[in-house]
Amino acid sequence: MFKALILDKNDSGVEATLQDINIDQLPEGDVLVNVEYSTLNYKDGLVLNGAGGLVRDYPHVGGIDFAGTVEDSSHPDFKAGDKVVLTGWRVGEIHWGGYAQKARVSGDWLVALPDGLSTKQAMSVGTAGFTAMLGVMALEDHGLTPDQGEVLVTGAAGGVGSVAVAILHQLGYKVAGSTGRADTHDYLKELGVSTLVAREELAETSKRPLEKERWAGCIDAVGGTTLARVLAQLKYGASAAAIGLAGGNDLPATVIPFLLRGVNLLGIDSVMCPKEKRVRAWQRIQSDLPLEKLEDMTQEAKLEDLPKLGKDILKGNVRGRVVIDVAGS
């Protein structure tokens, strides 16, 4: 028997309870993992609250990320004792996820934990940080270098934004951070933000299709009007990596920035990302994310804390990253 946070649906909505379950209740898979840590992402908040239509079948175990040690495997790439990390593949949505002390999944979904990263550090990164690194890699692949000017990170105090800021600063970029929370300014400066941009500055639809060229690149976790304004402010040939929609899924923009400035809008998907790119991203995380800053941006919680935390993250009240100590819950 082991502990799991079980989500069930009733007339009043989705309810989460900490229960003891057994291995026979786990879904099919060729690798059984002893989960040590999981984490909390915006999507986890949706799942915990029955929002977004992400979960179709109940009872359910959420947690779109986990890291731990292989207990048993019939997959050729993994054996008992291997340290592994999982993000994406709709685990925690249509397949039971990391909010249980054991998980059974397809070995094709797992990545070997890079040397130099602990399972706790991997979950301090989680899907949010993994996606941030994919965004940085995409900007670099489209020609971004530190000598081109400031790179903007929107939603900078959130999980994705915090990791993006830390990585960019470590790589030598001058980083601007947009946030609507004044109480996070000191935190963002410590992570590496040199220019603070008020959320309101980007919140209104521009009356002009092009504005003054300002940003050499952008990692955008907000979407909506914010992304539209950023596109109009990008320098010639610059790119924005779209990785979130905290501000809405519409895009009230024109094609003018693409046609007259040659800017690029890069879509970043972390869920179905190919294995080769995943391995590359985790290797870059190990080498380019300053681990001391990762610790500063992370708070620790347990499985029983998740119902409250799931509500907090949807309200924008979670700063940085949250690691869930699953094994110790």
Residue 53 token pair: 């239509």
SS3 for 156? coil
CA 259 → CA 210, 212, 229, 284, distances in Å? 11, 16, 16, 33
The whole-angstrom separation of Cα 268 and Cα 241 is 7
SS3 for 14? strand
119: amino acid identity, one letter:
T
pLDDT at 206: 81
Sign of the Cα pseudo-torsion (86, 296, 223, 51, in order): positive
Which residues, listed in sequence order, are joined to residue 239 by a DSSP beta bridge?
217, 264
DSSP-based helix, strand, coil % in the chain, nearest 5: 35, 30, 35
The whole-angstrom separation of Cα 77 and Cα 57 is 30
Helix runs in 58-118, H state only: none
Task: For the domain made up of 2-113+297-325, give the CATH fold.
Answer: Quinone Oxidoreductase; Chain A, domain 1 (3.90.180)
Residues of the chain with pLDDT under 70: none
Torsion, CA 138, CA 143, CA 148, CA 154, rounded to 10: -20
Which residues, listed in sequence order, are joined to residue 100 by a DSSP beta bridge?
4
Residues 6+ apart with CB under 8 A from 136: 164, 167, 168, 171, 219, 241, 284, 288
Query: Residue 191's CB: how many other CB atoms inside 10 A?
Result: 29
Nearest-5° angle of CA 197, CA 137, CA 204? Answer: 30
2-113+297-325 and 127-267: identical CATH topology: no
Question: 126: closest CA among 329, 312, 260, 318?
Answer: 318
Whether 110 and 122 have beta carbons less than 8 Å apart is answered as no
The whole-angstrom separation of Cα 50 and Cα 8 is 9
The whole-angstrom separation of Cα 158 and Cα 222 is 10
pTM of the model: 0.93
Residue 141 token pair: 């692949």
Q: Dihedrals φ, ψ of 38, to 5°?
A: -130, -165
pLDDT at 295: 87
Task: Name the packing angle between helices 159-170 and 275-288 (round to 10°).
Answer: 60
Whether 222 and 244 have beta carbons less than 8 Å apart is answered as yes
Q: C-alpha 22: how far from its chain's center?
A: 30
Residue 287 token pair: 């080498």
Taking the domains of the chain in order of start, what are their residue ranges? Answer: 2-113+297-325, 127-267
Whether 223 and 273 have beta carbons less than 8 Å apart is answered as no
The whole-angstrom separation of Cα 3 and Cα 97 is 13
CATH superfamily placement of domain 127-267: NAD(P)-binding Rossmann-like Domain (3.40.50.720)
